[in-house]
Structure 1
Amino acid sequence: MANHQAGIPDDCQSKAAPIDTGIEPIQKQTVDYVVRSGLAGGLAGCAAKTLIAPLDRVKILFQTKNPEFVKYAGSFFGLNRALSHIFSSEGALGLFRGHSVTLLRVFPYAAIKFVAYEQVRAVCIPSKDYETHFRRFLSGSISGVASVFCTYPLDVVRVQLAYRSHDKSRHRLLKAIKGIGYQASEKFRISNYYSGFIPTVIGMVPYAGVSFLAHDTCHDILRSKLLRRFAVDSEKKPRMDGKAPLQNWAELVAGGTSGMLAQTASYPLEIVRRRMQVAGINNARKSIAQTAATVFKESGVRGFFIGLSIGYIKVIPMFACSFFVYEKAKYLLRI
């Protein structure tokens, strides 16, 4: 994840004993560092999303109560049946419906998220003395909000494409983009592309905050005296902060754990967001409170966690892959 000692003022660095890593350190505030970390983050996001694209589509269909798939919701075997249904009716490419838009969204989203985290973290935690759980959480939350603000319209388009399971026309992407702008109104409205944005931002605070906090905390635990002999790869060159990189399994465990905790903390608001994003299809736009009340009336508390088991199946490998690729890319890019 982020280098724990990055962003230390020059006068503090000069007092510390220099660490011979064999690599010229790169200052975080330089354009070079931003470009490299953005590239690493973008590649990590694309790799992770591609890995779990079929599960992502099924989860959206369950969350939005698509009439064709509502009968499959609520069980693990339902997941298999839903995947089989999509494969038999739409072919293998159907499992990746809307994925091209996902990649267009996720590269800048992940790039902005990781760059923002590195930069915000350097400000919030300028030295080891400032290293607290709250500051880690705050840095992650701010980076998550920044990234989702810049890429949210593409996420709305992706959800619409995934929901329209019968539309197989060549121009379905353009139709979806245009349809969102005019949905529930005769006038084109930019605000339609930010439908459900407020609950997304509210949900992003625990989602991104918990994920980065958990990932950094897992790194601390894996580097502890008790586990470092098993988790740390001492044969490789040190990272830019002077620490030896973790073993592959340790990186995957840290990433997967962060994803599981982040998903649990933010899932109820994700349900509300998805329902708001597709409400315009049926001309039934509602506020956050109204949408939440509808979910509770239909399914009770359980309704806010429909698809969570699929969420775990999806988010654990996704975060494991994302953080793993990001850390490896940072190591290769010498940042």
Structure 2
Amino acid sequence: MAKISDTSNRHNSMIPSFLYSPSSLQKMINSSTISMPESSSGFMIPSPSEPSRKIEMYSPAFYAAGAVGGTLSCGLTHTAVTPLDVIKCNMQIDPAKYKSTSSGFGIVFKEQGLRGFYRGWAPTFVGYSAQGAFKYGLYEYFKKYYSDIAGPEYATKYKTLIYLAGSASSEFIADVALCPLEAIKVRVQTQPGFARGLSDGLPKFVKSEGVLGLYRGIVPLWGRQVPYTMMKFASYETIVEMIYKHAIPTPKEECSKTLQLGVSFGGGYIAGILCALVSHPADNLVSFLNNSKGATVGDAVKNLGLWGLFTRGLPLRILMIGTLTGSQWLIYDSFKVFVGLPTTGGVAPATVPAPASAT
């Protein structure tokens, strides 16, 4: 009965098995539990680590779990690095005053005290929690959707394109939720007298620039976040596959959950460095446009210079985004393990050629 169910599930989903490969031991446990007659055992005590109700892959509950995991991973991590974000944004906006990371910390502490390092934490938490829910939940959806369109053979052959398309689609939607909160965050962090936080900053911003003003930075935000997320997900999946293929002799299914989560963090940190390099010019544009009323992209390029557009605040952002991305994948995959789902990524199987008779 369990074997028929497994075959049916594989038939209904055309997504390649390497994208999600649950432990073979867990399959044996599930199989033996399902096929065991009630009379053969008086009672059975489940393991504390074993979820009481397994989430069905690609079900509404599966995508909801992805959204919750994304909320936790993005909301918590971005809020935790608010001090670094405060310094980074001020270095981008006022480089004459904030000349370096160390001097930036000193200036903020001298002028605003410890509270100055956490200015804008509320819009950061709300904005990136909403963004994370859409980003991760929809990535899981679009990854399967595009894989089903391509079919098993092409989805395996062009898996990187699947990752890129799925992440771009999810981030495009997620940024619509993030943009208003990002505008408030930048204004609060770079203009200390503007507002204390989200509760008074949002109505003040809307009164000054209107509701549409909250979305004035949407195009630069897409320019920053979409390439960032495409690099984040595609490079992460590729790096994790390479780690399991070349650095760890044991198949992923036989590795402990602790080791798998360590791979999630390490792969995420490396992916975060690549993300920072790709998205940094757009990050400078977002900070500049949200800080100056009526500013244009041309004004930003003229003020920052082409070299400054690519390099201003980059070392600090590499540190911030590397830590951020590694922590996000760790939290996200930890949540998936907690609810009984496999961690993200793995080794792709070799494509099996079609039989000569079929050709």
In the superposition, the TM-score normalised over structure 1's length comes to 0.80
Q: Which runs of 5+ in 1 are unaligned?
A: 1-6, 238-244
Equivalent residue number for residue 278 of structure 2 = 265
Aligned to 1:81: 103
Equivalent of 1:218 in 233, 239, 250 = 239
* Contact 1:231 1:250 (8 Å CA) reproduced: no
- Residue equivalent to 1:33: 62
Counterpart among 201, 204, 228 of residue 179 in structure 1? 204
Given the alignment, which residue of 94, 115, 127 partners 2:116?
A: 94
Q: Which amino acid in the other structure matches residue 61 of structure 1? A: N
Cα displacement (A) at 1:292: 4.6
Q: State how far apart, in whole Å, the 2-side matches of 1:305 and 1:179 are.
A: 32
Task: Work out the CA distance in 1 between the residues paired with 2:200 and 2:218.
Answer: 21
2:243, 2:263 within 8 Å by CA — same for their partners in 1?
A: yes
1:191 counterpart residue number? 212
Aligned equivalents of 2:152, 2:299: Cα separation in 1: 43
* Residue of structure 2 in register with 1:276 after alignment: 289
C-alpha displacement of 1:220 = 0.5
Residue of structure 2 equivalent to 1:228: 248
Alignment partner, residue 35 of structure 2: none
Which whole-Å CA distance do the structure 1 matches of 2:259 and 2:25 have between them? Answer: 19
Aligned equivalent of 1:4: none
How far has the Cα of 1:230 moved from its partner?
Answer: 7.5
CA contact (8 A) 1:141 1:207 kept: no
User: What number of residue pairs does the alignment pair up?
Assistant: 300
TM-score (norm 2): 0.75
Secondary structure (helix, strand or coil) at the match of 1:158 reads helix
Deviations 1:218-258 (A, max 9, x none): 1110110x312379583536xxxxxxx74443222100111
The alpha-carbon deviation at position 104 of structure 1 amounts to 1.1
Q: Which among 61, 69, 78 is matched to residue 49 of structure 1?
A: 78
Q: CA distance change for structure 1 residues 202 and 328 in 2, over 3 Å: closer, same or farther?
A: same
Question: Deviation string for 1:40-60 (max 9, x for gaps)?
Answer: 111111231133111011111
Residues 271 and 305 in structure 1, CA contact (< 8 A), matched pair in contact too: no
Q: Percent identity?
A: 17
Question: For the residues of structure 2 that align with 1:178 and 1:81, how far apart are their CA atoms?
Answer: 33
Partner residue of 2:305? 299
RMSD: 2.9
Question: Where does residue 12 of structure 2 map in the other structure?
Answer: 10
- What are structure 2's unaligned runs of at least 5 residues? 1-8, 31-52, 342-359
- Work out the CA distance in 1 between the residues paired with 2:301 and 2:116: 33
